[in-house]
Structure formats: C-alpha cells, structure tokens
Amino acid sequence: MNEQTANSQGMRVEIGIYLVAILMMGAIGVSSSIGVFMDHYQIDQVMALNVVSVPCFAIIAITLVSGWLMSVVAKKNISLVGIVLFVLGGVAPAFVESWPAVIACRVVFGLGLGMVQATTAALVAENYEGADRDKVMGRMLSFQMLGCILFSIVGGQLGAMVDVGYHAVFFVHLIGLVSFAAVLVLVPYRKPAGRMAATEGAKPEDEGIKITAGILLWFVIAVVFFMGGQVYSNAINVLLIEFDLGGAAEAGISLAVFAFGGFLAGFLFGKIFEKARGFTLPLGLLVLAASYLLMAFSYNIIGIYAGSFLCGLSFSICVPLVMSSISNAAVNPASAAFAVSLATCGQSIGQSISPYVITPIGSALASGIGLTANQGSLVVVVAICALFAIAFVLHGLKSQPK
C-alpha cells in the first residue's frame, strides 16, 4: 500500500470514527423536554430526570461487558449493534404512552449508547498509535461536543412542537442512522485480539485481559474528573436563577458555549499535549478550576459564559488524555480495549455519583461561609482540582530527566 493510499484509508477511518462520536452525548437530546414530560405524564422532576439518569446506569453495566466482548468480537460489529440499540431504544418512546414503557426503552437506549462510547475510543486505539492516536482522540472529543450541540438544538426544536413534543423529541435519535452508515462503509473490520491470539499462536503473555496499576490509576482519575465535571451541568441552570441572570434559554447558551470550547480544544489537543506532555493533566484540571471560580463568583452572565467556555476546554484537554493514557497503560491489545471501556465506565460512575458526593459536601461548606449550595459545590471541585494538579505537577517534575 503506497503512502497516498494509506493516507486516504486513514482519513476514511477518521471520518467514520468522528461520525460515531457525535452520538456519545446523545442522552442530552431529550433533556430540554423534562418540563414537557412532567406536564404530559403528570410526574415530578425527579421522576422525569430518569430519562437521562437511567441510561447512565445502563451504560455503567454495558461498558465493562463491551470491554471483555471486544477481545472476541470485532469492534466494528459491536459498534454497529450499539448504534442499532441507540436508534431503536431512542425512537421507540415516541410510539408508547406509559411512562414505565418510556423508561424501559431508555434502558435499551443506554445499552446502545454504552456500547458506542466504549467502542468509539477503542476504535481510535486500534487504528492509530503515538501522536496520531493523541490527535484523533482529541478530534473525537471535538465531534462529541459537536454532537452535543446538534442533539441540543434538534431535540429542543422537536420538543417545542405544540401538543406532540413529548413524542416528537425522541425522533432526534434518528441521527444515529448517519453514524450506522459511516461505520458500515468507512470503518475497517479487524479481527479481535483474542481470536488473533488463538489463531496466530500468540505467546501466553500476549493473551487475555490484564489489569495493570496504570490502568487502575487512570480509571480513578476518570471517576474523579467526571464526578467534578458533572457539577457544571447539574448546577448551571439553578445558578443562573440564583444570580437572577436568566433561566433555561441562558442555560442553553451556556451549554453551547461549553460545547464550542470543547470542540476547539479537541482539535488543538495534539499540539497541547506536544507542548505540555506530563503536565497536560494538571493544565486541564487548573483550567477546570478557573472555570468554576469564574462561574461561582462573577455574578454576571459574561462570567458564566466565560466559565462555560473554559469548562469545555478542560474537558477536551483531560478526556482525550485519559483515554489515550489508559490504553497506553495496557500490555496487549485485548487489555487496551478493556481499559478504554473501563475509562468509559469510570465516566458514567463519576457522573452518577456526583450529586451524592459533591453536592452534600458543597452544601455543608456553603452554609458555613454564606454561599449558595451550588457555589459551594463549585468550590469543592476547585479544591479537588488543585490537589490533583499539585500532585501531578510534583510527579511530572520528579519524572523529568536530570
């Protein structure tokens, strides 16, 4: 294969991966219709939020299964199955009337989304190495943020349709059909690592899934980062109301600014990592801390938007680093696929436990120093980011050549 053909093939694979990555925040597509669901189904806010939280719990379960499955089944095939479940489980609630049936469909949707999240990053690890892997991981996050904007806008418009919005909003998941076609046509089939080992006489040490200390470390980092990062989406709407700066519309703009920041940083991740190297994670954590300080204490809409932009930047600095580093910590291809799934699982775990860990601590802190509970939660994350950043800066300095 000549260089031009190889470059063309590499670009095709990249496009295929990016068109799947737009689905990775697909759960947000119906979040704009929480109020619509409350009104139509006569349920409270906590019950309505299950359309977002239930898929997260399904994702936690399926990502670990997907990690093992990728050692024996081709990632392309798992991705295709995941997209089918994403579309079917996502669209099916448009044709049911009972709320329990809607939630059951969201479980199927979450299983598909979990498979998509696990295999998309694993496809990057499978098809690219070194600097190319870092670059594609970063751009994958850019398209994930682009998908966030796309699902928010399309879902919002469908949900606003008079009298039928509670059904119509679920059709936003038909976007997945584009991703299905992209994987089918553009992503190559590669024999899974486990079957390669069985058929090609691999050495025993090259077979099976092995969990290293490095994999466990990056898993913990993923949990902590997303536990802190989730505070932004949990707090932003109420924070705007508390500061008398707006409501749902301003929160929507804030989310778009966040996604734009992430989109921009994702494309620049390769260059950022090239310059920062071992200090990339501390840089991303400090950017997140700065964004939360701005949002907590600016008391004006410009500060909120600036903080949202920085928050998006931090996500697209830290997340590609975690995904790339955890796969590099693996000792063989089967372990690398499982490691990426473990990081994805850590993402969902961190997002799920955030309200139960950060919020109580933030509320306790706020009551003692005269802040709102949301301000307190933001300050708690600032402290966590600072501690982790200092620890990794010291580690980076210690690791520098004499």
Per-residue pLDDT tens digits for 88-129: 999 999 999 899 999 999 999 999 999 998 899 888 888 888
Domain with CATH 1.20.1250.20 in the chain: 8-190, 204-402
State which amino acid sits at residue 302: I
Place of tokens 């600036």: 306
CATH of the domain spanning 8-190: 1.20.1250.20
Q: Residue 297: which pLDDT band, with cuts at 50, 70 and 90?
A: very high
Q: Residue 242: which pLDDT band, with cuts at 50, 70 and 90?
A: confident
pLDDT above 60: residue 394: yes
Q: Residue 230: which pLDDT band, with cuts at 50, 70 and 90?
A: confident
Two tokens, residue 53: 């939280």
Q: Is 401 exposed, middle or buried (0-12, 13-18, 19+ CB in 10 A)?
A: exposed
Two tokens, residue 310: 């920085």
Rg (CA), the chain: 21
CA distance 40 to 46: 15
Q: Which range is most confident: 160-169, 177-186, 265-274, 277-286?
A: 177-186
**Per-residue pLDDT tens digits for 18-28:** 999 999 888 87
By C-alpha distance, which of 121, 122, 392, 135 is closest to 273?
Answer: 135
Q: Which fold has domain 204-402?
A: Growth Hormone; Chain: A; (1.20.1250)
Q: Residue 402: which pLDDT band, with cuts at 50, 70 and 90?
A: very low
